[in-house]
Structure 1
Amino acid sequence: MDKSLDLSSFNKNDREKVLRKINKAEYEDTMNTYNSIVEMCFNECISSFRSKELDNNENNCILNCVKKFSVFSQRVGMKFTQNVNSEMQKKI
């Protein structure tokens, strides 16, 4: 959650409602991201159902897929932060 969010003008009940909605939105976003990763990596790495266990190739593919997504997400986050900081500097 954004720690800079100022809810001091809200009464306690409204503040709790806002925080619950924010927490719900964060949870839903996390679940959507998780489900997207599972679907993407499954589609990329699993081509047949020979066994209920993953074979070594499938397991390695899944690990690499998740790692790529993690690295990609970090890069996007860093770029987003750079852009926000750049915009903030322009306003100063």
Structure 2
Amino acid sequence: MSAQSPASMSLMEQELNQAQIREIFTSFNRSHQRCFTDCVNKFDRRSVSDSEKNCVANCVAKYMNTTQRISMRFQEHQAMITGGGAVAQGQGK
């Protein structure tokens, strides 16, 4: 396998970052759409009711908290695999 140039590595890193950002936005939009679908049921008025707003806010908060916890556990797992187990054990408890 040949060594890659710094420019090639930089381009691959940029593409990876862009893909991660797209995935974050896609996940964010999907969660909001699901919460809206689950919480907003009446369309006979012009505004969203307080209970619907609260439902969406709680739903999104739960989703974000769960996503954050999964991400933290994944990072801890990756740190343990790469030999940084001592660092990972002190976080996220």
Query: Structure 2 length as normaliser, TM-score?
Result: 0.70
Deviation at 1:48, TM superposition (A): 1.9
1:29 maps to what in 2? 23
Cα distance in structure 1, aligned partners of 2:79 and 2:11: 30
Q: What is the aligned-residue identity percentage?
A: 22
Per-residue CA deviation, residues 8-63 of structure 1 (Å, 9 max, x unaligned), is x4243x24532431232123112211221122101210112122321000000011
Query: Structure 1 length as normaliser, TM-score?
Result: 0.71
Answer yes or no: is 1:60 the counterpart of 2:54: yes
Cα distance in structure 2, aligned partners of 1:21 and 1:32: 16
CA RMSD of aligned residues (A): 2.4
Q: Tell me, what secondary structure is at the counterpart of 1:85?
A: helix
Aligned pairs for 1:1-92 within 5 A? 9-12=4-7, 14-89=8-83
Deviation at 1:82, TM superposition (A): 2.2
**Equivalent pairs, count:** 82
